A and B are shown apart, each in its own frame.
Chain A
């Protein structure tokens, strides 16, 4: 019982310390808070706010006002309610795709760096081939044929296309770490490859991996936005679908309808920006060279 309390107290202290560090970089702090708010809105919000299912034709395309805080869409539904409900899928896909991409990239990169020699060359050649393809177009063509029915499928799909560039970066990080003395020491002690990888090197890479995770997430959001816009992702009621629908209904040319286009777009943009701001502050924290002052 007592050790558990100690562990919790430690964890709490660490969290406060990290939060303070994040707060040092104003932009990163803003990003962090924004991200938190978006996550709250998207996951807790729907529990509080009922989804709008009825279409009210009399309320079509009302511009923002007190009665309709963010305006209404082409079916008379409240935009702000659509906003609250639309984020969850986007964030889920981003997070899952980010995690999967990072895991694949880390495994491939780490083993490639560690095994070296022919194995390394082979893995890197495969990675290079994958990198050299016009992935955007390949993504589109393949999405056409593969049925992407749910969040997991889309996330997996995105990560299959996203891991190569990250794997390269991970590999070079591992290579530079590999040259450090404590790795040599561990090797001399015959501690075995998995041990060296996971107990010695990985902890030093955690910060880097965290930043890589966030970058993968932004990449996933980027890709899913245009896949949805092209109609290749046939599910969901998320921000991507909402703005694509609004666009298809020519909301761009209709000043009243514009809010139904801008609200979901705003959601996506805010999500991306918050992730970027947060990751830049992480970079500053974990990479001392970036910190101001010698």
Chain B
């Protein structure tokens, strides 16, 4: 009996394009545990957003979920399973009830997430009414609570029209709206990408605060590894529609095992990185219609060998049951690609002794 909020098994999503089928998500297995924050990290086009959209079944009409199951569990106060169902098998009415109440997906670019002709209060009202939640004064009080949680001035926001609020404010209103129905799971897709750095910081602080107070499960989708590190308990690196590394946030950062993850870590310069040593991952993401053979990362991988061109590695436990990687050379990856880090570690370890 699983105690996870969401269990994804073998999820495959394809889009129809003129040239052929775009394989956006290729057989993903993931678990999101109760109250945990899982980060999905990858470049644009890696499939991470598609996974998020797939969970709430908000894909474009040209997309099809060709296989898999998405088992969602709702838990009662005592910790027992109240409801368990496969999201992919929900009827349209059940799906509408599921959305936002069981799982709320908050998109990036909240700049345009609100209907421009309705006040914020009306939009909260719409959502509440759709789920037969509170209304009138009770709704307003609840909304005010949420606004306080996200550090917004309720008076300023409640009767306003969306265009009267700044981007950062709108993002926070959207988060507050996401929490309105007290969902056990929240999906945040690049929640800070379009915002300036100060607002970004604000939102990150708000998110950390909320997680502590409300303890919902969070799926955090981003390309920004450092942000993910702040918020996440576990990190899943996604490449070409598959998870290539999955592990606890500390483990993943200290002992990354997939060359792609290492590439991402290396690509974030620190304050003291010499400008000659700022690196990025060479090449560009693969064509999802015409994927390379074997391991999809091999054309860009500095460690690629013959085997990598022939066989695609499975995501398997490597240094422990909680750390998985999909690479034939996971053991040597960090050694070869992050020598300075490895050395620094040795030095630290020596100093500690």
Interface residues of A (CB under 8 A from B): 293-294
Contact = CB atoms under 8 A, between A and B. Distances in A.
A15 to B, nearest CB: 26
Contacts of A293: 18
Contacts of B62: 294
Contacts of B15: 294
Contacts of B16: 294
A1 to B, nearest CB: 43
A294 B18 CA distance: 6
Interface in B59-78: 62
Nearest to B22: A294
6 contacts: A293-B18, A294-B15, A294-B16, A294-B17, A294-B18, A294-B62
Contacts, number: 6
Interface residues of B, number: 5
A79 B15 CA distance: 58
A294 B15 CA distance: 10
A24 to B, nearest CB: 14
The 3 closest A-B pairs by CB, nearest first: A294-B17, A294-B62, A293-B18
Nearest to A293: B18
Nearest to B61: A294
A293 B61 CA distance: 12
A64 B169 CA distance: 75
A50 to B, nearest CB: 54
A58 to B, nearest CB: 65
A294 B60 CA distance: 11
A294 B62 CA distance: 8
A68 to B, nearest CB: 54
Nearest to A292: B18
A177 B17 CA distance: 27
Contacts of B18: 293-294
A225 B17 CA distance: 46
Interface string B16-27: 111000000000
Contacts of B17: 294
A152 B62 CA distance: 52
Interface string B96-136: 00000000000000000000000000000000000000000
A199 to B, nearest CB: 32
A15 B140 CA distance: 66
B289 to A, nearest CB: 12
Contacts of A294: 15-18, 62
Nearest to B16: A294
Interface string B272-284: 0000000000000
B323 to A, nearest CB: 39
A289 B62 CA distance: 15
A294 B17 CA distance: 5
A285 to B, nearest CB: 16
Nearest to B18: A293
A4 B18 CA distance: 38
B341 to A, nearest CB: 39
A294 B16 CA distance: 7
Nearest to B60: A294
B21 to A, nearest CB: 11
A184 B17 CA distance: 32
A283 to B, nearest CB: 19
A294 B22 CA distance: 12
Interface in B317-348: none
A291 to B, nearest CB: 9
A293 B17 CA distance: 7
A294 B19 CA distance: 9
A294 B289 CA distance: 14
Nearest to A291: B18
Interface string B303-317: 000000000000000
A162 B15 CA distance: 45
A46 B16 CA distance: 54
Interface in B212-252: none
